Amino acid sequence: MARKRWTIGITHLIKPPFEAELEAFNQQADIVYFSGHDAHDYDAAEMQRLDAMLVWTPAIDETIAAKLAKCKILVRYGVGYDKIDVAALARHGIAFSNNPEYGPEDVADTAMAMLLALQRRIVEHDCKARAYREGWQENHLSPMRHSRHCRVGIVGLGRIGSSLSLRLKPFGYKVMAYDPYVSNGMYRALDVERAASLAELVSQVDVLSMHCPLTAETRGMINAQLLAAAKPGLIFVNTARGPLIDNLDIIETGLRSGQLAAAGLDVLPAEPPLDHPLITAWRENADWLQGRLLITPHNAFHSDYAFAECRSNAAQTARLFLEDNVHRNAV
């Protein structure tokens, strides 16, 4: 029996040609490409044709859901779905899935790389060493933490947080985590100490790494009061979601006062970043900030392999639902 041919929408960030998606559909798909950031600008007639939609950056709200007249499933290429109105999709009879399997190792690798670079003050050494002319090896930076005397706190012990904990252990770090939704058995299996609260975690660690989703519960959870209760000289790493941080003011204040020794941010409250004194100082490589703030453009997840896996998995999820009525990674 001949396979049905499907009409599949693909949004911004994924670019043609669509080999991974077409292969997942055994070439039995017509792709409608929406290249813009804002789904409200998409052609309504094209949206009404779709059997499924694969989404990266655009937000999906009630207005967009209403235009997806034939759409049976919407799949987000990524893990987070804070920009997706899942209830609106449900009201219009559209199933929703995210894509949690791809790339946890890549995000964990990025967090680990930031953590090591900031703890060992690698970038700061590189910046300062450019000015050394006569003296050289005697130019130590202090304090310089030793990994076996350093406790790392992980917020969120899912796929990525767990992957990070496994990377930390061979270096000798003590690992503590806060995740109220994970069983004691997971903590024991990973040999990770359990914190009863976020406040307890922050008060006891030397490094804090964020690996939780953005929800109503977690939005703004890293605030001025929490950072004030941390041990002075905390290293802060966020490869999860920018709005977990209440605002950039608290990061700037912490870095200027020394309450934060350094910060590594793959994600920001607004992307691309809006004008802010901290962003200006980072762009200008200001003396007070040199080597203490690492910013990458929300690509901790990316490797060539992970990106291909991401695209294939998302398309496979849509095909399984359309052809086999299997709802994989249902949210």
Q: Tell me the per-residue pLDDT of 229-250, one tens digit each, with 9 for 90 and over.
A: 999 999 999 999 999 999 999 9
Answer whether residue 219 shows pLDDT above 80: yes
In this prediction, residue 48 carries a pLDDT of: 98
CB 213 within 8 A of CB 80: yes
pLDDT tens by residue, 234-292:
999 999 999 999 999 999 999 999 999 999 999 999 999 999 999 999 999 999 999 99
Residue-level pLDDT at 101: 85
- pLDDT at residue 3 is higher than 80: no
Q: What is the mean pLDDT of residues 97-117?
A: 95
Instruction: Determine the pLDDT at residue 175.
Output: 98
- Check residue 4 and report its DSSP letter: P
Q: Given a cut of 80, is residue 52 above it in pLDDT?
A: yes
Mean pLDDT across the chain: 96
Question: What's 152-183 look like in SS3?
Answer: EEEECCCHHHHHHHHHHHHHCCEEEEECCCCC
Does the pLDDT at position 324 exceed 60?
yes
Cβ-count burial 165-188 (b if 16+ within 10 Å, e if not): bebbeeeebbbbbbbeebeeebbe
Q: What percent of the chain has pLDDT over 90?
A: 95
**Banded pLDDT at 102 (limits 50, 70, 90):** confident
SS3 for 295? strand
The per-residue pLDDT for range 21-36, each reduced to its tens digit, is 999 999 999 999 999 9
**Distance between CA atoms of 179 and 177, rounded to whole angstroms?**
7
Size of the chain in residues = 331
pLDDT at 134: 87
CA 235/CA 120 separation, integer angstroms: 11
Give me the mean pLDDT over the 55-78 stretch: 97
Q: List the 174-178 sheet strands across, edge first.
A: 193-194, 174-178, 151-155, 207-210, 234-238, 260-265, 293-295
pLDDT single digits (tens) 122-145: 999 999 999 999 899 999 999 999
Helix axes 104-119, 122-129, angle to 10 degrees: 50
- pLDDT band of 2, cuts 50, 70, 90: low
Helices (H) and strands (E) in the chain, counts: 13, 12
Distance, CA of 301 to CA of 299 (rounded, Å)? 5
310, two tokens: 């991401």
d(CA 246, CA 250): 8
pLDDT of residue 116: 98
- Percent of residues, the chain, with pLDDT higher than 70: 99
Give pLDDT, residue 90.
Answer: 98
| Res 73: pLDDT | 98
State the Cα–Cα distance between residues 119 and 149, nearest whole angstrom.
12
Domains delineated in the chain = 6-102+304-324 (3.40.50.720), 104-132+140-295 (3.40.50.720)
C-alpha of 306 from chain center: 14
Query: Does residue 164 have a pLDDT over 90?
Result: yes
